[in-house]
Amino acid sequence: MVDAGDAYCPHGQTERSHSNIEAKVTDVLAADAFPVIIGGDHSITWPAATAVARKYGWSKRGLRHFDAHADAADTIEGNLASHGTPMRRLIESGAVRGRNFVQVGLRGYWPPPDVFDWMREQDMTWHPMQRGLGTRDAAGDRRRDRPGR
């Protein structure tokens, strides 16, 4: 394991920060290393996973997201690239298929029902914290592994 260092993320400059994050992850991938990204604003998942998709192919890899919130809103106060939207951006871009996306630990007041509806339409899987790592989604529907998952 090697620490590749931080991507330069100038405060308040989301586009520049995301570009730098994607470049940093691309450098790690170019060394045939597997990137493990820890810390930072929730929005960093979008550029980091996009770099992986560019290397291995769009929709070819999955993602496990450990968080209390789904971060799959369409926009937050008109912002497409906020801390609450990166998982939707990844799925909409084709970097990750919804069926290859697993979220663990969702709890609390968010997301609202319309976001859960969108997640269900994308065939995403999630495990709410109150149910632990059980086999039901937030609506109580039984989730089963299917071929190709």
Average pLDDT for 45-56? 96
Average pLDDT for 91-103? 96
Res 141: pLDDT = 54
Give the rounded distance of the alpha carbon of 144 from its chain centre: 21
Contact between 5 and 38 under an 8 Å Cβ cutoff? The reply is no
- Residue matched to tokens 């969108």: 118
Res 133: pLDDT = 53
pLDDT tens string 4-41: 999 999 998 999 999 999 999 999 999 999 998 887 88
Provide the number of structural domains found in the chain.
Answer: 1
- pLDDT at residue 135 is higher than 90: no
For residue 146, being part of any structural domain is answered with no
Q: Token pair for residue 120?
A: 């269900």
Q: Token pair for residue 137?
A: 């989604």
Q: Token pair for residue 101?
A: 């996306």
- pLDDT at residue 140 is higher than 80: no
For residue 9, being part of any structural domain is answered with no
DSSP single-letter state for residue 113: H
CATH code, 30: 3.40.800.10
Q: Which long-range contacts (CB under 8 A, 24 or more apart) does 20-25 make?
A: 21/47, 21/48, 21/51, 22/47, 22/48, 22/50, 22/51, 23/51, 25/51, 25/52
pLDDT tens string 59-88: 999 999 999 999 999 999 998 888 899 999
For residue 144, being part of any structural domain is answered with no
Q: Which domain holds residue 86?
A: 14-131
